[in-house]
Structure 1
């Protein structure tokens, strides 16, 4: 983080939201939204380049993570409520025009912020998770049919308490294994539906090059006290998300949009149809496939991501 960094704790939208800020006070605002199971520090490689380019960055710890509130109620994590946290924070800072950058679940929130705030969200950058309009039915229904009785990690996450028992038992092991899931294909395992995410003999090994121990310590601290329940609750709202987004049916993302994905990201395989349909729903779209690259794109390929991000912002969200 830069020497100009601030940490704020804001009471808004019924929760306490932790936000890290850096950059010139009058710089155009860029919001960086992290995914699962990550933290604000996931954007560590983007902060300095954005600040050096004159932007002011805002990096929340999303609801359920770190120092932000983690309500017990599963219904407190539907996508409109998650968007509401960021919209309320933007209101707090008086932001009338912003760029929003999201990865993984942060990308999902970013897509819906773009739909909900067509005037305020002036430019959009999403990574790993594509968009092709509101689905015709809840994604979990489609997953249950497609899985054919085989293990599906999102379906495994649905039952409150079950996944927590496994993931919370050893936070270090959980984070290390998830960081390596491209090699182990944790999200695409061929095993019975009643299995668990990890097998007893799975060894996480050394940390990946993109996450040395001093950075991993921030990830660890994010989940050390409360575990993964708040983060997992995001996954338990697919049906509710489908219901509450009905007013957005058929709406396209009209903002200039940059989409990045790694060639080894398992989400690319899981969302192949959505990727194919995305240009119909995001008319002003620039796409890049980064290789060799897995899911943790902004750190695995930080230099390339920063180059593409800064070039896009210079053209579509200039000072």
Structure 2
């Protein structure tokens, strides 16, 4: 049976979902999500013989949300996972991340290969560290309205997203990032959400009760913590300079939806095509037809099968 608890790690508190016994597998969710996003994987991986632990990540849900923007760097996130492994009294783990959780997983494997023996990323490939700060690079390329940029000024995106949390979560989760009513580029004078019908039907993979769980959690927590992850993008670039060009040599897996715009833009498309440069021990690159961004919720059977097969090979 799944259990929940809160643990003190790395100077904060993390809310955990836990199930199963065996080798440790950590599941890192993305934005705007929660440990609940892994509800299908927690059961499947535990049944396959693993100790599965899914935290609400720093700034999300029932976990701590420190006030300073600087408390949300990639080193803080990886530090949380390193400390969590120690708190669980384990000496190694596989780490799996989706969306923003994927960079946490990739960097955890990069920074601590002694601790993280295998790594999987969903929807977001490992980044090729470019020559310049990402925000500066966007501006130099004439881009001033990408959603990363809109999220930078504290309070602006929070005000939009928190105005009607039920509508926000319905729009983002039901529409994903491929909703024609909303773009990853912000229209002048507009916001991130676009126009969302309050009675918009949900996709088959998301029930009204499941959506309600997300809505109630975000009504309680707000969006500040998760948005602060975006406000460290340039800082992360600066802090990871020592790993420029480094490879992640552990066994690895990548899964994404064929309809996910996060992997289909020019930059990410190149990263997906050439990820073996960073992942020389890549076991599988699985692109699932008909799936969008919320891959582990949209296609749980396919994702679970791929994860179990991967873990059986490497743990």
TM over 0.5: yes
- Asked whether 1:173 is paired with 2:167, we answer yes
Aligned residues: 309
Change (3 A) 1:162 1:49: same
SS in 1 for 2:221: coil
Ranges in structure 2 where 5+ consecutive residues have no aligned partner = none
In structure 1, distance between residues paired with 2:47 and 2:17: 17
Name the residue aligned to 1:157.
151
Name the residue aligned to 1:186.
182
Name the residue aligned to 1:17.
14
Asked if the contact 2:97–2:122 (Cα under 8 Å) also holds between the matched residues in 1, the reply is yes
Change (3 A) 1:147 1:94: farther
- Structure 1 runs (4+) greater than 6 angstroms displaced: none
Normalised by the length of structure 1, the TM-score is 0.92
In structure 1, distance between residues paired with 2:116 and 2:45: 17
In structure 1, distance between residues paired with 2:186 and 2:129: 29
Name the residue aligned to 2:272.
275
Asked if the contact 1:30–1:100 (Cα under 8 Å) also holds between the matched residues in 2, the reply is yes
Asked if the contact 2:85–2:92 (Cα under 8 Å) also holds between the matched residues in 1, the reply is no
Name the residue aligned to 2:89.
94
Counting only pairs closer than 5 Å after superposition, residues 137-148 of structure 1 correspond to structure 2 as: 137-146=132-141, 148=143
In structure 2, distance between residues paired with 1:84 and 1:189: 32
Change (3 A) 1:147 1:210: farther
Normalised by the length of structure 2, the TM-score is 0.94
CA offset digits 1:59-117 (Å, max 9, x no partner): 00000111101111110000001111111111111221211110000001000000111
Asked if the contact 2:150–2:186 (Cα under 8 Å) also holds between the matched residues in 1, the reply is no
Asked if the contact 1:187–1:266 (Cα under 8 Å) also holds between the matched residues in 2, the reply is no
SS in 1 for 2:274: helix
- Asked whether 1:234 is paired with 2:232, we answer no
More displaced 10-residue stretch of structure 1: 207-216 or 234-243? 207-216
SS in 2 for 1:9: strand
How far residue 189 of structure 1 moved from its aligned partner, in angstroms, is 4.1
Change (3 A) 1:224 1:111: same
Select which of 202, 211, 216 maps to 2:196: 202
In structure 2, distance between residues paired with 1:212 and 1:127: 22
